[in-house]
Structure 1
Amino acid sequence: MKRIIIPLLILLLASCAELTQVVNKMDTNRPLTQNEVVSGLKQALKIGADSASSILSVKNGYYRDQLVKITLPPEAETVTKNISRLPGGEKLVEDVILRINRSAEAAAKEAAPVFARAITEMTIQDGFEILGGKKDAATQYLKQKTYKQLYQLYQPKIKKSLDREIVGNISTNESWESLAGQWNKIAGSFIGEMADLKEVETQLDQYLTDKALEGLFIKLALEEAKIRNDPAARVTDLLKRVFG
């Protein structure tokens, strides 16, 4: 009797294994449900946002990455050129840039929770628009939802770094405001208009905060592209189904 039962059990187990494979294959091929799309995109956004924040929040995350390193605007060249002529001036200028990037790195540590709150608000309609949208549709969704909050997070940290004195009891902010104010007078004059000169933003912290956030969303877009294009980056079964 045992001789008959054992082969039957083996046959039954083999049949179950084959049936499971068939069911799994059918499950993979079935149309995506609305909940799966939204859940998958939320998962992808969280993974991408956490990764982008982590990459930029480490020491030199901004400063040593030429793709996102924050530098002073071209209009600040007069200030930096004059300071660089002083003994140790070049180091002073680079120290300012370093402090700005360090401030952005510190702010990036707190960016992930801001992204997380926006992700939880995603609707079914948002999900399908992102899935069928442009290659950076998810990044643009988060940018639209979080930019103001992230700006409020980054701007005070960067402004604080600019308010520190660099030389002669003058801070970067004070030097920039003086330079930009004089430039804008020229740009707004009749001669400036004839020469098609453009006024510049007098608030340096606004310019630099926008540049810092630009770097954050560049990194987020790169993380999104990985999930969309690289099967190896789809680290869960749900991501494989939604983006496969």
Structure 2
Amino acid sequence: MLKRSLLVLLGFFSLQATQAQFLKKLGKQLETATNKSSSTSTGSGTSLAGLTESDAGSGIKEALAKGVAAGIAKLNKKDGFFGSDVYKLLLPEDAVKIGNTLRAIGLGSQVDKAILQINRSAEKAVGYAAPIFVGAIKQMTLTDAVNLVKGGNTSATDFFKSKTTDSLKTAFMPVIKKSLDSTSATRYYADIVNNYNKLPTTFNKVNPDLQDYVTTMAVNALFDQIAKEELAIRANPAARTTDLLKKVFGAK
């Protein structure tokens, strides 16, 4: 059943045809990591409501795999960020006054172009998040898994967030830079900053770190999506789409 869930994970990722070969390799890595961790349990010890440690370990991994797949599928597409009321990226906080000032003097179209391409960069970058989670799955112990099953709410997401945030940001940085450049976001953003700094009324020159801003916002959005999926699996029986998820999260 776990293997079937991992195949579903690959199906979600296949939204990007150009990444098909990468995603195939990822699926094998995730399956290997999950099976290896589960096989370390003899299955003789019970954890809660008659579940073995192996059940708990496999169940929490399957839930996280489902959450990762759903999160990336929602964000790694056109308008995943730009068309979202929740995740749309505006200008960095330190650059808001740039946008307001330029709009006031009739340069709002430049601001709009910069915002659009910043969001396109984030949409493109989140497709490269999955391998980071493979590493976190490999590090999860059976004790971790049992505690996360019992934890409730978003305990599994919080666990992965603590394990992967720094790695995600490090991995995202070059991807974000490439995305910002390829979508012309860097150029559009530089245009509005330069135009603002040229104004005679500008006393404090501004040039916020766009790369760090987009990276942080993309990582936060991905974890928020994974948390929503975990909450659904824990609270809604209909979201437990496999026998293993029903067994593990319906046993509490």
TM-score (norm 1): 0.70
- 1:232 lines up with 2:232 in the alignment: no
Given the alignment of the two structures, is residue 165 of structure 1 paired with residue 187 of structure 2, yes or no? yes
The reply to whether residue 130 of structure 1 matches residue 129 of structure 2 is no
Per-residue deviation, residues 52-110 of structure 1 (Å, max 9, x unmatched)? 111100111111111111111333222112322454x2221121111111111111111
Question: Aligned in 2, Cα 1:30/1:207: closer, same or farther, shift over 3 Å?
Answer: closer
SS in 1 for 2:151: coil
2:204 match: 182
Aligned equivalents of 2:166 and 2:196: distance in 1?
24
Unaligned stretches of 5+ residues in structure 2: 1-47
Match of 1:209 in 2: 215
Alpha-carbon deviation of 1:205?
A: 2.4
- Provide the rounded CA distance (Å) in 2 between the counterparts of 1:217 and 1:79: 29
Q: Does residue 1:153 correspond to 2:171, yes or no?
A: yes
Aligned position for 2:33 = none
| Root mean square deviation, CA, Å | 3.0
Q: Would you say the 8 A contact 1:231–1:240 is kept in 2?
A: yes
Contact 2:114-2:188 at 8 Å conserved across structures: yes
> Structure 1 159/79 Cα, relative in aligned 2: closer, same or farther at 3 Å?
farther
Equivalent position to 1:68, from 87, 94, 119: 87
Q: What fraction of aligned residue pairs are identical, expressed as a percent?
A: 35
CA deviation map 1:117-176 (0-9, x unaligned) = 322321111112211224111111111122122212333344452773338xx4456679
Provide the rounded CA distance (Å) in 2 between the counterparts of 1:140 and 1:117.
16
| Residue in 2 that maps onto 1:33 | 52
State the AA in 1 paired with 2:245: L
State the alpha-carbon separation in 1 of the partners of residues 148 and 99 from structure 2.
Answer: 43
- The two structures have a TM-score, normalised by structure 2, of 0.68
Contact 1:158–1:208 at 8 Å: present in 2 too? yes
